[in-house]
Amino acid sequence: MKKNMTFHKRKIWVVLLCCILMMTGLIGRLVYLMCFRSDYYYKKAKELHEREREIKAARGEILDARGKVLASNRTVCTISVIHSQIKEPEKVIALLSEKLKIDEAEVRKRVEKISSIEIVKTNVEKSTGDEIRECSLAGVKVDEDYKRYYPCGSLASKVIGFTGGDNQGIIGLEVKYEEILRGQPGKILTTTDARGVEIDKLGETREKPIEGKSLIISLDVNIQEFAQQSALKVMEEKQAERVSILLMNPQNGEIYACVNVPEFDLNDPFTLTDDLNMQLNESGITIPSEDHNEQSELTVQTASGKTNTERKQELLNQMWRNPCLNDTYEPGSTFKIITMAAGLEAGVVSPGDRFYCPGYKVVEDRRIHCAKRTGHGSQNFVEGAQNSCNPVFIEVGLRLGIERYYKYFRQFGLLDKTGTDLPGEAGTIMHQKKNMGEVELATVSFGQSFQITPVQLAATVSSLINGGRRVTPHFGVAVLNPDRTEGEKLIFPVKEGIVSEETSKEIREILETVVSQGSGKNAKIEGYAIGGKTATSQTLPRSANRYISSFLGFAPAEDPQILGLCIIHDPKGIYYGGTVAAPVIRGIFENILPYLGIEKSDVSDFSAEGN
C-alpha cells in the first residue's frame, strides 16, 4: 500500500512539473510576442483593418529655355466603389452611369464585383467628380488625381512626348526623364471592421505625396513655333510627304528646335492625324468614336489581314516617331562636308588643288555621273564644293582609301549613336569594311549608298565647325526641385580632338563660299556670313523618282552659334535642295539670329580671309 502511494505521488510530481514547464513556455512565448514582437503584430493587425488608396503625386513640369510651361498637370478625379459599403446599389449604378457616361451594364458589373475596391473610371473632370461626391452615396469614393496637360497642343509633340492613363511617360522627354518627373505617390488609409466596412469615428489618415521635380530644356517655344510654321508652309507649297527641321547650338549641343510635321495633339495622342486616319479608312475599316485612353477591342480584319486595332496601333507608332532620330536617310551632298573634313585633315587635298569634271567619274567598271551631266570642267577644290561636284569628292574619297576613310568615319563618331536624350535613336547603316570596294567608297564619299539620322549629321558637322569638339545633342539643361529652387545641372559628354582647329577653320571658310558664291546662295543673308551645304538625294528604289531635298547651314560662319538642318521628303515639282530647302533655313535664320542676340557683321572680312 505504501509502495502504491509513493508511485502515485511520483506521477503527480511528474504531471505538475510538466504543467509548470508548459506554463513557463507559454508565459515566455507571451512575453516574447508582447515585448519583442509587438511592433510586427501591431503592423499586421493594422494592415488587416486598414484599406489603402493611392494618391498620385503631381508630375514635375517641363519648361522651355525661357521658363514657358510645355507640360503641366490638371486636376481630375478617380471614381471607385467599395462593394461591402454600398447600401443602395441601384442608386449608385444609376448615378455613375449618368454622370460618367458609361453603359449601365458595365457600371453594374463593377458595383456588384466583390473586391476591396474597384475603380470605375479614371481621369474624370473635377466638376463631374464634385457632383458625384455631393451625392454622398455610401461606398462611392472620389479621389483627386492628376492628368498631364500640354498648353501648347501639338508644338514639339514628338520631342516632349506624353503620358498614359497611369501618368507614366510613354514617348519623348516624358519617358526619358521619368525618374525625375514622376514624384512619389501618397496614401489614404481608412480603418475598417472585420466585414471591411469603414469605421466612421476613426476617420482616415493620409501620407502626402511628394511632387516630382521639374525639367528645364533647351528648346525655345518661340524658335520652335517659327520653325514649325516654316515647315508647314514648305510642306504645303511643295506637297511634300513630311518636313523635318533641327536647330541646335554647335558649341554645346543644346537643341533649340526639333520640328517634324505633321505633328500630333499631345492632349489627344491616340487620335490619328487626318492623313493617317485616311490610310486607316482606305484599308476598309472606319473606326467609331471611342475613349482614346483605352485601345479599341474590335477585331475586324483589314485588307492586309491585320485587325483594325493592330493596324491603328501601327499608324499610331508611325505618328509618334521622331524622324530626326528614329529614322535614317541617305544624306546626299550634305555628307560631302564629312569627306571634305577627312581629306583636309589627312592632307590628301588642299583648297587650291585642281580637278577636272567631264560630267562623270569612272571607278572600276562603273561610270558615276555628276549632277551636271555636261561637267564643270577645270576647277579647284573650293569651286568643286561650291558646285557640289560629285567627281571632285569621289577623287578625294579615293585618295583617302578605304582604311583611312573608315578611320575618320570612326574618329568623327559616325559609327556610334550620338547619345541624345530622347529614346529610340537609330544607328548609322554603313557598308562593312570587308565588303567595301572602290565603287562603294566613291558613292559614300558624296553621301549615297548608306544611311544616317539627321541628328547624327548635325552632331558630326557641329564637331567639324566648332574647332573639333564632339558635343552631345540634347534637350535637358537643369532640374528644378518641387519648391522651385534650382537642382542639378545636366551634363553631357564632350569628346575633344575630332579635327584640328586649322582644319575646322578651313571647313568653315569653304562652306561660307558655298553660300556666298555657290549652290547654297539661296541661304545668303545680308549682313551675316552663312556657311552651308545643299543636298538632293534619291530614295530607294531609284526608279520611283522620289527625292529628299535638304540644306545644312550655320551662322555666323566665323564663330557658329546656331546650326540648322532642313529635310523635305518627296517634294513635288522642283526638288533641288538649294532651291527648296535653303530658303527655309534662310527665312528661319533671318528671324532668329537677331532674337538670339547675334548681330550683323562685315561679311566681306570673313570672305576675304577665306580667299
Q: Omega before 571 cis (within 30°)?
A: no
Closest CA to 530 of 507, 561, 557: 557
Residue 344: half-sphere exposure toward Cβ, Cα within 13 Å: 27
User: What positions carry a catalytic annotation?
Assistant: 333
- Compute how many other C-beta atoms are within 10 angstroms of the C-beta atom of residue 223: 22
Residue 151 grid cell = 498648353
The Cα 246–Cα 447 span in angstroms is: 19
Residue 19 grid cell = 504543467
Residues 508/558, Cβ–Cβ less than 8 Å = yes
Q: Are strands 255-261 and 242-248 parallel, antiparallel or unpaired?
A: antiparallel
Cβ within 8 Å of residue 430, ≥6 positions away: 409, 414, 415, 444, 450
529 backbone dihedrals φ, ψ, rounded to 5°: -90, 110
CA dihedral 133, 137, 143, 148 (to 10 degrees): -60
End-to-end Cα distance, the chain:
136
Q: What is the DSSP letter of 95?
A: H
Residue 295 grid cell = 485601345
Number of H helices, E strands in the chain: 21, 21
List the alpha helices (DSSP H) in 178-307.
178-181, 221-237, 274-282
Closest CA to 547 of 373, 384, 329: 329
Residues 217/476, Cβ–Cβ less than 8 Å = yes
Q: Omega before 454 cis (within 30°)?
A: no
CA dihedral 381, 385, 389, 393 (to 10 degrees): 60
The Cα 143–Cα 135 span in angstroms is: 15
- Compute how many other C-beta atoms are within 10 angstroms of the C-beta atom of residue 37: 12
Can you spell out the DSSP letters for 105-163?
Answer: HHHHHHHSS-SS-EEEEEEEEHHHHHHHHHT--TTEEEEEEEEEE-TTTTTTHHHH--B
The Cα 183–Cα 208 span in angstroms is: 11
The Cα 395–Cα 373 span in angstroms is: 17
